[in-house]
A = this chain, B = another copy of it.
């Protein structure tokens, strides 16, 4: 039995489509009244765990799921021992430094030393500003990071930007990208090594499905 950890939220619909294209039907997860966290595939040969984005690599690292789908941003933030197998291509967004549009900062290097940066991704932010050799004070928030500059708590934020609408709605502007993120297929290294072929075949079908455009 193959277990797959899928992330709730923005990546779920496309994750389910990709697995469907690779022969595993988890569409039950998409039903609006689904409350189950563990759902068998229609064929009965696999099951999906529905977990938070940040928890996907945890279930895979501990081997409770052999495969998982998660944003690259999570892999960069929480470095866990999982194998990155396929760039699935969907869920594109960028990790960016954003400031108040009225602030006058146009690059991250313009920010004053020892200024405050609010982020859900403080590990990513820390390595970015270390590489810039700009000392900053990081403030870890768990949501609505755009309130940092609005309330005056922080000079800037580091956050995921997809359409940029949340930034615009809050009078913020992205000034520099840390990296681009997409959904990734990850695997438990030992499960891959001990695989009798079924896992490898599934990964290959998912890889092939990622080269084809997503069905509408």
> A: which residues have CB within 8 A of B?
3, 8, 37-38, 49-52, 54-55, 58-59, 62, 64, 116, 139-144, 146-147, 150-153
In contact, A142 and B52 (Cβ under 8 angstroms):
yes
A114 shortest CB reach to chain B, Å:
14
In contact, A151 and B59 (Cβ under 8 angstroms):
yes
In contact, A37 and B139 (Cβ under 8 angstroms):
no
In contact, B51 and A144 (Cβ under 8 angstroms):
yes
In contact, B64 and A153 (Cβ under 8 angstroms):
yes
Q: In the bound complex, how far is the Cα of B139 from the Cα of A38, in angstroms?
A: 19
Contact of A143 among B3, B51, B62, B147 (CB under 8 A): B51
Chain B residues in 8 Å Cβ range of A38: 147, 150-151
Q: Taking CB as reference atom, which chain B residue is nearest A152?
A: B64
In contact, A151 and B55 (Cβ under 8 angstroms):
no
Q: In the bound complex, how far is the Cα of B52 from the Cα of A139, in angstroms?
A: 14
In contact, B141 and A58 (Cβ under 8 angstroms):
yes
Chain B residues in 8 Å Cβ range of A49: 147, 151
In contact, A52 and B153 (Cβ under 8 angstroms):
no
